[in-house]
Structure 1
Amino acid sequence: MNSRPIFPRFSLVSKLTVHYSLFTFLILLASTVLMYWGLVSSFDRRNHSYLDSQVRLIGALLQKGDQEALKKEVLYDHPSVEYIRHYERVLDEGEHVLLETPAIRKVLPPELFTAESFKGTMKAQRFADGNLYVLKSAWFPLASGEKRLVQVALEISQVEKIRADYRHKLLTVLIVGVILCAGAGIFIARRDLRPLREITETARNITVSNLDERIYKETFPKELQVLATAFDGMLDRLNNAFESLSNYSANLAHELRTPISILMGEAEVALSRPRSADEYRRVIESELEECQHLTRLIESLLFLARFDRNEIELKAEEVDVCELVEGIWEYFGPLVEEHGITFECTGEALLAADRELLRRALGNLIHNAIVYNKKRGRVTVAIRQQEDRSAEISISDTGCGISPEQLPRIFDRLNRNGRSKQLSPMWPGLVLPIAKTIMELHGGTITVASELERGTTFTLRFPPPVAQPSRKMTKS
Structure 2
Amino acid sequence: MKLQTKITLLFVVISTIGLVLLNASIFYFVSEFNFEDFFKRLEARVNLAAEIRINPNKESLAYEQVRTRYLEKLANETEYIMKLDTNRKPVYKKAIDLPDQFYDKILTQRKARYTEQNHFYAGSLFKIKGQKYIVIVAATDPYGFKELEELKKVLLIIFVVSIILTYVAGTIFSYYTVQPVRGIIKRVKNISANNLHMRLDELKSKDEIGELVLTFNNMLTRLETAFETQNNFVSNASHELRTPLTIISGETQLLLKDDRITDEARVSAKTILQEAEKLGHILASLLGLAQTGFDGKKQDWQKIRVDELVIEVAESAKRIDRDSVIDIDFAALPDNAALLYTYGNSNLLQLALSNIVLNACKYSDNRPVTIKLSADAFNITINVVDMGIGIPVDEQQKIFEPFFRASNTGQFKGYGIGLPLTQNIIRLHKGTISISSEVQVGTRMQVTLPVA
TM-score, normalised by the number of residues in structure 1: 0.46
TM-score, normalised by the number of residues in structure 2: 0.48
